[in-house]
Structure 1
Amino acid sequence: MAQPQAQALEATGRPSIDGSELEKAKQAQHVETDAVSTFEDPVEAKKIIRKIDFRLIPLLMFLYTLTFLDRVNIGNARLWNLEKDLHMTGYDYNIVVLVFYIPYILLEIPSNIILNHVTPRYWIGFLTLGWGLSVTFAGFSKSFGGLLASRIFIGVFEAGMFPGCLFLIGSWYRRHELLTRMAWFMVSNDIAGSISGLLGAGLGSLNGLRGYSGWSWIFFVEGAVTCCAAVLAFFYLPPFPEDAQFLKPEEKEWVIRRLKLDEQRRKDNEKMTIGGVIRCIINWKILTSGVLYLAVCVTAYSLSVFQPTVLKTFGWSSLKSNLLTTPVRVVSGIISVCVGIWSDKVQRRGIFCVVGFSISIMGNLLVMLLKNGNLRYMGFYFASIGIYICQPLVIAWCTNQIVGTTKRGTLTAFAISCGQVGGIISAVVFPSKDGPQYVPGISTCIAFQAVGIMAAVNMWACAAWENRQRDMGKRDSRRQLSQDEQDKLGELHPDFRYTL
């Protein structure tokens, strides 16, 4: 039988394969299948996920800690003669805080498009070096205009960092593994907030050393550390799963296969384009992500940038005001990660989002209405805990509701762009003249959090309704489409279920 088969193959113009070669090919395929199937064992699967975790999350956490630290250190620098040295008056400080967000908002989506077409370590390493140099040179500012220019460049380079990291994380994990990783990643906010207060106190105390004020030393040291971090990003940041070299071939195949199964008919090797991004933005889930993250960031940025200033109105010194921002961020970070793990375990998002916004509203009311400094300080704990529960949650929740590289890249960039509008709002609603209660600013935070609750309830209700329709078979007509058309349905496929 082997000879006729070989003759038949030769007749078709294809090379003949003898029995031994065919058997070897079958054995190789069998070995590969066995290697992939071993990872279905929970213990083996966990090892691969941990391997990805350790390679990806700590480095991104470190980079984002520096991102946030370099963004909000202006609040600490203000307490060390910044305005006096640069002859800033009136709203000058608020303008310096605000101008950062303009390039940040405009360049986030273009940055994710670039990231989708190049190796992540090249692009993110370049961005890290760019903003690190900008922060360093900010310490040499001699005028309000010089500081303003440096803040613009910080915004230009930081624009791609946050959405790029979230885009990369979202590419590696299944939907109900995502929030835990995003919560760990965004704990960088709390690490940065904690370190910022300590560094603000420590570096600011170098005031006068070599003729530079304390605010200059804050910028010098933090900017130099960021430049060094760019080298780490360039050499060690992993690529997207399809290009991963730190995994064995069978491990990479297993990771890609489980991602496809999780997202139901995910389109492979999809690249972001301007036209694709424009089409995605009108998706109601992506629009809702923008509203939710805007609601989060008005309060998050207010706490980060203006908390030391508010604490100083309690009659506390600059040193004490900087130091006492640290415990608030530590507690909120721990609780944020715990809630993220809990949410992934029960595969629910909406209830945690609503509760988080509600806790933060209560904390803001305490800060705004009470007179006693210690009780108002307690209010900062509630405000921070609630809002930092919501920050990773809303991004993970909205990412869970979509399928495809273009939608995921558009969502992370669009949501974060909307969040930076919250940074602009926070920059203008906390003028010094409103102290010590800062009623207009805190009222603005509460109003946006109320909007966040409404958006979360809307997402929750719409997702639950659509899941019921699919459970009743009312979307099964889509199964009559061709396989290629079904592959392009994404979250519209009748097998897909939205996260509640």
Structure 2
Amino acid sequence: MRKIDSRTIPWLSFLYLLAFLDRSSIGNAKLYGMETDLHISDTKYLLGLTIFFIPYAIFEVPSNVILKRLKPSVWLSVLMLLWGVVMTVQGLVHNYGGLMAIRFMVGTFEAGFFPGVNYYLSCWYKRSEFGIRAAVFFSAATVSGAFGGLLAAGLSKMEGVGGKAGWSWIFIIEGLVTVVAGAMSFWIIVDFPEDAGFLSEPEQVFVIRRLQGDAQFSAAGEKLRWKYIEQSLAEWKTYLSIIVYAGSDMPLYAFALFLPSIVSEARYSATPANLLTVPVYVLACICTCTVGFLADRYGNRGLWNFSCLCISAAGYIILISSRNATLSYIAVYLAACGIYPCIPNTVAWVSNNVEGTYKRSVSLAMVISWGNIQGAISSNVYRANQTPWYPLGHGLVLMYIGFGLISTLCLIFTLKTENARRDRGERDEVIEGTEGGSEKNGMFSSVNEARREKGDKWSGYRYTL
């Protein structure tokens, strides 16, 4: 397993660092005169942020299906190459129309990466192992927040080089690094367990059998059937999980895109504002990995979600009521420590409760895509006419956190209720040659057939709380 960790987690985390850096660096570029040079108003800038999330949400589900059909080493690498090229071109735009077109294309090509990697990792690890891996992978977003501020402060010093503004070089350099990383990924990213070239045949069998022993009966592979996609679309857990995820995803994007502006409006200039975001993200990274580890070790992912959302709510309550720059800066730490751990923990929670490789790929993509469309809302809630305290933006973020709290409790209750019904035998199938069960739950020739056909609906499957 250490061998698998070393071949999957570090490189994918680095790639996600680049992805989140590329997507959120526009917030850093804004501080170095991008709006003035492109002759755009605050409203147009917000629309430039918004348009990214439309294709980003639309293309996540089909991308995950394609990922399962193709090799991850091919599909994920192609996506990186394309968005790296587009990101580089973003540093060359001269007007509002160019910015809008580029942001749309960045959203299109980045769409499949985050849900794709999370689904890919879920095909390698047991349910009790996935949370910390998802947290370490996602912690790259917090590292990118810290690194992005430092990088933007450094690249802005290239003002005038090649006749380009400092903010242009932020996009160009970051885009070129992504292109190189995408090209290298063809050889570095490994494929699914059943065809991973870096494992021997006995090692492949070992990985698949330990997953099947963890109630992942489809780990050895399954053929694409439309019914798996239909099951995801008709699954009540998926839609409730969407609300849970949106309750932290909208605050995440609002936080990442506007943290530099929030800090700068507290009477700090551009470079100090970017640098002051660094320790916020460092602490968020530590909290994200800690929660991922503890949730794997002790379970109760729902309660961890609820606790983290309460911490972030406390931070935003302070931000709404505070009129002191130092107090607001302290509240930002609370907000970050509550929001960031919820994202990988929710992804792990969803993945833990869906059996079937195609069903899980679609369910994860649906949850993440509908959560990410909230980024279109978060891009418009921090208005320039509400500086320096942004009461509307903070209030709407707090509202979403409230949605997350309520839906988390509902999901815990419904999963617990369903597990109790299975414990009482209310979901037992009729198995040929054995007594008991109900025909309404299905009739099967063997337990293995029931597992294979019903997935997480099988009476012996227990949901993770």
Please give the TM-score of this superposition, normalised by the length of structure 1.
0.88
Deviations 1:206-235 (A, max 9, x none): 222221111100011000000000122111
Which residue of structure 1 lines up, in the alignment, with residue 87 of structure 2? Answer: 135
Distance 1:132 1:274, change over 3 A: farther
Which residue of structure 1 lines up, in the alignment, with residue 439 of structure 2? Answer: none
Secondary structure of 1:100's aligned partner: helix
2:208–2:220 contact (8 Å) kept in structure 1: no
Q: Following the alignment from structure 1 to structure 2, what is the Cα–Cα distance between the partners of residues 293 and 193? A: 20
Which residue of structure 2 lines up, in the alignment, with residue 191 of structure 1? Answer: 143
Residues 1:249 and 2:194 aligned together: no
Residues 1:493 and 2:458 aligned together: yes
Secondary structure of 2:214's aligned partner: helix
Q: Return the offset for 1:314.
A: 0.7
Farther-moved stretch of structure 1 (159-168 vs 270-279): 270-279
Q: Return the offset for 1:266.
A: 3.3
Task: Specify the code of the residue in structure 2 equivalent to 1:326.
Answer: V
Distance 1:265 1:378, change over 3 A: same
Which residue of structure 2 lines up, in the alignment, with residue 31 of structure 1? Answer: none
Residues 1:220 and 2:185 aligned together: no
How many residue pairs align between the two structures?
452
2:9–2:137 contact (8 Å) kept in structure 1: yes
Which residue of structure 2 lines up, in the alignment, with residue 145 of structure 1? Answer: 97
Which residue of structure 2 lines up, in the alignment, with residue 81 of structure 1? Answer: 33
**Structure-to-structure mapping, 1:44-443, within 5 angstroms:** 49-263=1-215, 265-266=217-218, 268-272=220-224, 276-443=228-395
Q: Return the offset for 1:478.
A: 4.7
Task: Specify the code of the residue in structure 2 equivalent to 1:494.
Answer: S
Distance 1:63 1:273, change over 3 A: farther
Secondary structure of 2:207's aligned partner: helix
Q: Return the offset for 1:471.
A: 2.2
Distance 1:497 1:138, change over 3 A: same
RMSD: 1.4
Task: Specify the code of the residue in structure 1 equivalent to 2:141.
Answer: N
Q: Return the offset for 1:272.
A: 4.3
Q: Following the alignment from structure 1 to structure 2, what is the Cα–Cα distance between the partners of residues 409 and 377? A: 39
**Structure-to-structure mapping, 1:4-23, within 5 angstroms:** none
Q: Return the offset for 1:265.
A: 3.6
Secondary structure of 1:95's aligned partner: helix
Q: Return the offset for 1:89.
A: 1.3
Deviations 1:124-146 (A, max 9, x none): 11100000000101111111111
Task: Specify the code of the residue in structure 1 equivalent to 2:371.
Answer: G
1:265–1:488 contact (8 Å) kept in structure 2: no
Q: Following the alignment from structure 1 to structure 2, what is the Cα–Cα distance between the partners of residues 260 and 160? A: 26
Distance 1:127 1:308, change over 3 A: same
Task: Specify the code of the residue in structure 1 equivalent to 2:454.
Answer: L
1:267–1:488 contact (8 Å) kept in structure 2: no
Q: Following the alignment from structure 1 to structure 2, what is the Cα–Cα distance between the partners of residues 370 and 125? A: 45
2:319–2:331 contact (8 Å) kept in structure 1: yes
CA radius of gyration, larger in: 1
Distance 1:94 1:270, change over 3 A: same
Q: Return the offset for 1:246.
A: 0.8
1:139–1:219 contact (8 Å) kept in structure 2: yes
Q: Following the alignment from structure 1 to structure 2, what is the Cα–Cα distance between the partners of residues 90 and 174? A: 46
Deviations 1:328-382 (A, max 9, x none): 0110111110111111011221110100111001001112211111110010000
Q: Following the alignment from structure 1 to structure 2, what is the Cα–Cα distance between the partners of residues 486 and 145? A: 53
Which residue of structure 1 lines up, in the alignment, with residue 440 of structure 2? Answer: none
Which residue of structure 1 lines up, in the alignment, with residue 399 of structure 2? Answer: 447
Task: Specify the code of the residue in structure 2 equivalent to 1:487.
Answer: R
Q: Return the offset for 1:264.
A: 5.4
Unaligned runs of 5+ in 1: 1-48
Q: Following the alignment from structure 2 to structure 1, what is the Cα–Cα distance between the partners of residues 398 and 431? A: 45
Q: Matched residues, percent identical?
A: 37
Distance 1:273 1:266, change over 3 A: closer
Task: Specify the code of the residue in structure 2 equivalent to 1:217.
Answer: W
Secondary structure of 1:59's aligned partner: helix
Residues 1:469 and 2:434 aligned together: no
1:479–1:494 contact (8 Å) kept in structure 2: no
